[in-house]
């Protein structure tokens, strides 16, 4: 048993004073493998982060951590599954801005409640969105893209793989005064294939998962959604620089568990993630991926989640988007 697990064991065994049922669930946690459920397909930026931090968590706790991809319905498939599983800490879900802060704004009758069914362990990363097109002459700037979209006889096609990117696209279409058709995908890899193949006019993507293809010239980045340019793409302007001064948005990821997970089990996991996020290798990994670290306590993560939902609600209202 490594030092961290020994400390965790000592903390959890103290919980016997809380009652036998709780003590039985928490006293030897973890004593078997932990699952991390990812609501998106393999190869996405969210998936890559889940695998990295899942591996680090497993090493620290001395137990295997297995990542499982359960894409579909904007995260609903994965979250519904985790909601129905035992609240014992052995199932972690990779939360992100789309299912936790956007779905409640744009979808009616969600089969899960982001606040009552889940609770945060720690924030992981915050990343910019990027608008990409096929690498070919004719559209080299966001202004040119918008002008072409305005002049098109029919709505342009834009690929997205979650409600967050769809909402970001709707926001751009609203302020850019052009029409588009959202083409939903289960994951980012298929979108990239269709942009490169000319079957999509554009895509709104997670920058971290697209940055290599941008740097190798397979995709053309028109703008990034941060408040300033991304250090790995210094020649790509922001939406703000490109004529949309209020357009700034990020996607984010975090680890959550079932809301009924025992507090001491939750503390073992959140303390482990605090340790992991403080490590230089975590910051180095996120830098390579084009993301910013977002270390938070569970309380800070919950407050951030609520503020993000409020922000997306403002965006939806401005774009005339109502829950469906």
* 14 and 105 assigned to the same domain: yes
Q: How many domains does the chain have?
A: 2
Give the domain CATH number at 155: 3.40.190.10
Q: Is residue 244 domain-resident?
A: no
Residues 123 and 150 both lie in one domain: no
**Among residues 224, 243, 267, which one ends one of the domains?**
224
Q: Are residues 142 and 279 in the same domain?
A: no
Cα 89 to Cα 4, 70, 260: the distances in Å are 17, 18, 9
Cβ neighbour number for residue 24 with a 10 Å cutoff:
11
**Same domain as 100, residue 161:** no
Cis check: omega of the bond before 30, within 30 degrees of 0? yes
Cβ count near 161 (within 10 Å): 28
How does residue 18 score in pLDDT terms, banded at 50, 70 and 90?
very low
> Do residues 144 and 204 both lie within one domain?
yes
Give the pLDDT confidence of 150-159 residue by residue, as tens digits.
999 999 999 9
CATH number at residue 74: 3.40.190.150
> Model confidence over 212-266: pLDDT tens digits?
889 999 999 999 999 999 988 999 999 999 999 999 888 899 999 999 999 999 9
- Structural domain including 157 reads 128-224
Same domain, 142 and 209: yes
- 113 and 26 inside one domain: yes
- Tell which residue, 240, 245, 202, 246, has the closest CA to residue 224: 240
pLDDT of 88 strictly over 60: yes
- Residues 201 and 53 occupy one common structural domain: no
* 147 & 193 share domain: yes
């Amino acid at each position: 048993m490594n030092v961290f697990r020994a400390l965790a064991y000592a903390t959890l065994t103290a919980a016997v004073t809380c009652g036998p049922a709780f003590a039985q669930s928490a006293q030897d946690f973890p004593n078997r493998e932990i699952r991390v459920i990812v609501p998106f397909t393999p190869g996405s930026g969210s998936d890559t982060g889940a695998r990295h931090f899942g591996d680090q968590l497993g090493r620290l706790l001395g137990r295997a951590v297995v990542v499982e991809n359960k894409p579909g319905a904007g995260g609903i498939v994965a979250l519904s599954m985790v909601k129905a599983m035992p609240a014992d800490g052995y199932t972690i879900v990779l939360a992100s801005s789309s299912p936790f802060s956007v779905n409640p704004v744009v979808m009616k009758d969600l089969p899960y409640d982001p606040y009552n069914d889940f609770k945060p362990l720690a924030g992981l990363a915050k990343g910019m969105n990027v608008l990409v097109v096929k690498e070919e002459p004719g559209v080299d700037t966001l202004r040119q893209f918008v002008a072409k979209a305005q002049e098109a006889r029919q709505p342009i096609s834009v690929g997205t793989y979650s409600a967050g990117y769809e909402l970001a696209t709707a926001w751009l279409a609203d302020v850019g005064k052009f029409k588009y058709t959202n083409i939903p995908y289960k994951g980012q890899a298929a979108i990239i294939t269709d942009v490169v193949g000319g079957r999509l006019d554009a895509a709104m993507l997670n920058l971290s998962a697209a940055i290599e293809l941008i740097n190798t010239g397979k995709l053309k980045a028109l703008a990034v959604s941060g408040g300033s340019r991304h250090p790995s793409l210094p020649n790509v302007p922001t939406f703000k620089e490109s004529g949309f001064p209020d357009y700034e948005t990020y996607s984010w990821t975090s680890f959550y568990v079932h809301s009924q997970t025992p507090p001491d089990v939750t503390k073992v996991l959140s303390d482990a993630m605090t340790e992991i996020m403080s490590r230089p290798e975590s910051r180095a990994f996120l830098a390579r991926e084009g993301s910013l670290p977002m270390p938070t306590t569970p309380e800070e993560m919950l407050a951030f989640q609520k503020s993000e939902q409020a922000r997306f609600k403002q965006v939806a209202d401005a774009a005339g988007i109502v829950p469906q």
